Amino acid sequence: MPTEPLLRATRIVLHCSDTEDGPSNSWPAIRRYHMQVNGWSDIGYNYGLELIAETYVLQPGRPPWVNGAHCRAAGRNSDSLGLCVVGKFDVNPPPPRLVTLTASVLAFLCFAHGIKPEMVSGHREWEKAKTCPGAQWDLDRLRKSVDQRLHRMASAGVTTLHLVADGISL
Ligand SMILES: [Zn+2]
């Protein structure tokens, strides 16, 4: 069996599930859909962010060294991590708490994988027919917010990260 080359991500592509984020854990259903309906080897994303019973949880997707199946355009599956926020954001904007947490998770991923904040993008920036991660996400503001977090971490001499402080359970 041919083995896929290892992913060395230099980018992150943000997505949304385009489904309502209820109180239960919907990540397994997304994984099942990708595997059983799409016929993929695993869920398409490398990470997820989902509200489960009042707590935002960072969900594991494909290992970060395995190419994703989340943005075929421009070869992004082979140079980016895919982060999927569970929710629908075309009409209603993401809640402020979620915007803050998403910026924290992206900063965490940038830090952990040595990715520059300007290399964070939204799916729609690669596939013009899509609104993903939702028309209401302000991606320039998000990048700025990730950049500010990384600067704060650098000036504080941060070498390890504790996302729990931002309300995310890992
Ligand atoms: Zn997407």
Residue 66 has pLDDT above 80, yes or no: yes
Question: Which residues, at least 6 apart from 32, have a Cβ–Cβ distance to it below 8 Å?
Answer: none
What residue segments make up the domains of the chain, in order of their start? Answer: 11-169
Q: How far is the CA of 145 from the centre of ligand 1 (A)?
A: 21
Confidence tier at 170 by pLDDT (50, 70, 90)? very low
Q: What is the mean pLDDT of residues 17-41?
A: 95
Confidence tier at 1 by pLDDT (50, 70, 90)? low
- Other CB atoms within 10 A of residue 156 CB: 8
Report which secondary-structure segment, H or E, holds 2. Answer: none
Coil, helix or strand for 3?
Answer: coil
Q: How far is the CA of 154 from the centre of ligand 1 (A)?
A: 30
Q: How far is the CA of 15 from the centre of ligand 1 (A)?
A: 4
Strands of 55-60's sheet in order across: 120-122, 11-16, 80-85, 47-52, 55-60, 168-169
Residue 103 has pLDDT above 50, yes or no: yes
11-16 and 47-52 as β-strands: parallel, antiparallel, unpaired? unpaired
Please choose, from the candidates 115, 116, 87, 99, the residue with its C-alpha nearest in 3D space to the C-alpha of residue 166: 99
Q: How far is the CA of 88 from the centre of ligand 1 (A)?
A: 11
The architecture CATH gives domain 11-169 = 3-Layer(aba) Sandwich (3.40)
Q: Kindly calculate the radius of gyration of the chain based on its CA atoms and give it in whole angstroms.
A: 15
Instruction: Give the amino acid at 138.
Output: D
Report pLDDT digits (tens) over 117-158: 999 999 999 999 999 999 999 999 999 999 999 998 888 887
Helix, strand, coil shares, percent, the chain, to 5: 35, 15, 45
Please choose, from the candidates 5, 96, 107, the residue with its C-alpha nearest in 3D space to the C-alpha of residue 58: 107
Mean pLDDT over all residues of the chain?
Answer: 91
- Other CB atoms within 10 A of residue 154 CB: 10
Q: How far is the CA of 158 from the centre of ligand 1 (A)?
A: 31
Residue 70's pLDDT is: 97
Residue 168 has pLDDT above 60, yes or no: no
Coil, helix or strand for 140?
Answer: helix
Q: How far is the CA of 70 from the centre of ligand 1 (A)?
A: 6
Report pLDDT digits (tens) over 73-94: 999 999 999 999 999 999 999 9
Residue 159's pLDDT is: 73
Q: What is the mean pLDDT of residues 18-23?
A: 92
Residue 165 has pLDDT above 50, yes or no: no
